[in-house]
Every structure is written in structure tokens, then in C-alpha cells.
Amino acid sequence: MSQPKIKRRVGIYEVGRTIGEGTFAKVKFAKNSETGEPVALKILDKEKVLKHKMAEQIKREVATMKLIKHPNVVRLYEVMGSKTKIFIVLEFVTGGELFDKIVNQGRMREDDARRYFQQLINAVDYCHSRGVYHRDLKPENLLLDACGKLKVSDFGLSALSQQVRDDGLLHTTCGTPNYVAPEVLNDRGYDGATADLWSCGVILFVLLAGYLPFDDSNLMNLYKKISAAEFTCPPWLSFGAMKLITRILDPNPMTRITIPEILVDEWFKKGYKPPVFEEKEDTNLDDVEAVFRDSEEHHVTEKKEEQPAAMNAFELISMSKGLNLGNLFDVEQEFKRETRFTSKCPANEIVSKIEEAAKPLGFDVHKKNYKLRLENVKAGRKGNLNIATEVFQVAPSLHMVEVRKAKGDTLEFHKFYKNLSTCLEDVVWKTEEDMQEMK
């Protein structure tokens, strides 16, 4: 545990912990060392991108995303490349996911849901007008800034897990099944614009109802329900909201309502304020071209610096009040799918206790020093839940343990963590304040 910690830099960015993982990419928290500004650093494997013949598509979409400066879309600042990786520098949004708001509070009042939906349609309309499609719209890709304004993330970058054939249509059935349009499921090709709009309709339903319009544990039954647009609006929805949802969730993409039609809908228009912002034409796209050139002069420098594993224990303890599930939504921490706790137990004992607790919950455990990778052998709603844990030493007799969702469904992670917290009660260091609360 006392080995030196490796500090990593990419160009001017100091790279921190992982805050998200996917098939093609990993997202890390980073800081601009010149300005101190926090950013999200999306790291792609160049070999995978070239193998799947995605280079031209990524180049085109990243170039377009650099030009998109909309208040409801996460900004893409720059793109860099090394010999083996592509680094996309994105705006770091601090208000959490819209998903967490629904998990915590349930359904929304119509005025609140309408306000978020108006911002979503603004973002989608703007990006579509520039030929950029999302293809995986869902509440987990909708972030909120510090002021509660909606920010769509991964717009244009979701093509990393998609494929376009010679007919110009997308064919891969990707995305979260519950939000996917019927035409995406039938593999006859689909238009990204109308498919995105269907997902917007599912999101509006979830905001207003607090649950999914199409849901079934059997995938084939789920597909049948989606293909037939088999859903029922809850009785508390207003007639205007029901009518709009029904027009969006039309299984025929040719007759589905369009964005211009949504903009003049009576329910949608209530309290609508079009976004006011300036578009700058001076965006430099040289970095986008340079990323795919196999020339050393265009490669960004990656540095790894060894430094002592020094952490401020008091700061960490104040961040972490035992195994409180509230830590998952700790805005101060700005990481949505992780939590941490402190322990006075030896590091080996902590690792063994986590392993003992995880196995009865149906997890395979992979160990490497003081890191654990837990993989649920049973697939959940979004594949197998993977959890990464790591033990850090903050003082000779004090450790901090981080528990993070690496892959899978966020709700399933919450349930796992509740079970884990019960099993590890004797491991967690309880402060005097905690002991008083337990009396």
C-alpha cells in the first residue's frame, strides 16, 4: 500500500480517476493545469476505432461537435491523439444526471417535465440541423449543470458503437432497448432524426409517469411492445401531454410527429423560451485532422510521474460518512456512480471482507493487489453489472475504500451497494458523531 502513486498527464491536462467506461471508451476526470478548469477526458483506443472503420465518421462528427456551441449540449473543447489513443476533451458538468433526479424523486410535475423536455428538443433540433444524431438518448445521457440547466452528453459520439452501411442508413441495434425506436429493431435501416425523436418521447413519458412506457424482462416481449407502440398513459397526465406523447410514440417513422410540429404544439409551447446564444465561426479544426495522422509531430505527450501517495485524511473523512447511500448523490464530489468509506482495518482484511460479501451476491471476484473487479455472473437490465473497488492508504492505520460502477445499470448498482453496506458494517470506521446517531 505504500508504493508511490503514478501521476498522469496528457498534454496540459492532469488526469484523475475514471468516471465512466464503455465498449470503445473510458472517461476520466481531468484538470487543465494552466487554468485549473475541470474537464471530462474521453479516451478511445485508436486500434479499435480503425479496426471498426470508424475513423472517418468520428473525424466528421468530432469536427461538427467542435462547431456546436449550444447551451443544452455538453461542449467539446478539443481533440488530441497519441500513437495508440484518441483524447476528446469535454465540458465537465457538475449537477448530476437527470436519471438520479427521477430515481430520488419519482415522477415530475408537468411544468418541470415540460421545461426539461423543451431544453431537450432545443438541443436535438439544433444538432439535427447540423447533421449530428445521438442514437442513444436516455435520462443517463442527460446531465444537469450547477444551475439545473439540461445538458445532453455524448451527442454525435455515440456513433462509436454504431455502423452506417452503403445505403447511408444506420443498421446496428444499439442503445438501451427500452428507449429504442421500432425501426431500429427491425434491421431494415433507419433515419437517425426520427429515431432520436422516439427516444425523446420515451424520456418525456418517464419524466411525467416515473416509469417506462415499454418494459418487460423478456427481450422478445419488450420488442413486440415497442414495435406495436403498446403502452398506456397514467391517468394523472393532462390531455395535452397524452396527445403529444402518442404522436411521438408512433411506431411508423413516416407518420411520426416532426420537431417543427412539436414546436407549435399547444402543450409544448406553454412557457417556452427559445435559447439565446451566439455562434462563433472562428473554431479551429486543425486538431481533428491531426489526430489521425501517423506523425510523431502531431502526437500529444503522455507523461507519467511518480509521486508519494499523499492524501489529506481529514478531507477524505469529511467527504465520507461511513456507508451512507447518500454519498452516491454527493454533488460536492461530482461523481455520480461511486461512493467511498473509511476503515481502520488492515488493507488485506478489507479486500477479503469485500470478496466475502460479494460472492454470495452472485459476483465473480478478480483481484489485483488492492484493486478488485466484481462481475455479476447474471446479466441485468443493461448487461452484467461490473464494480471496481480500490483501497487507498491515507495514514498508517487508516484506509479509504472507493466503490464504483464500471459497467451496467445504475439502479442495480444502488441495490448492490445497499447489500454490501450491510455486510461491511464492522469494517467501516465510525466517528464519535456516527456512534451518537446509532444510540
Tell me if 374 sits within 8 A of 301, measured CB to CB.
no
Catalytic positions are 136
SS (HEC) of 194-217: HHHHHHHHHHHHHHHHCCCCCCCC
- Residues in Cβ contact with 216 at an 8 Å cutoff, skipping those fewer than 6 apart: 222, 225
Residue 209's nearest CA partner among 185, 179, 232 is 232
> DSSP 3-state assignment of 370?
coil
Annotated binding site: 42
Distances (CA, A) of 239 to 204, 259, 343: 14, 20, 54
Spatial CA neighbour of 412 closest among 366, 376, 364, 372: 376
What are the residues whose beta carbons fall under 8 Å from the beta carbon of 59, sequence distance 6 or more? 288, 289, 291, 292
Binding residues for ATP: 42
Q: Which 3 state secondary structure label does DSSP give 104?
A: helix
Instruction: Report the alpha-carbon distance of residue 248 to residue 348 in Å, rounded.
Output: 54
Q: CA–CA separation, 259 vs 251, rounded Å?
A: 16
Cell of 127: 444538432
Contact assessment for residue 244 and residue 265, using Cβ atoms and an 8 Å cutoff: yes
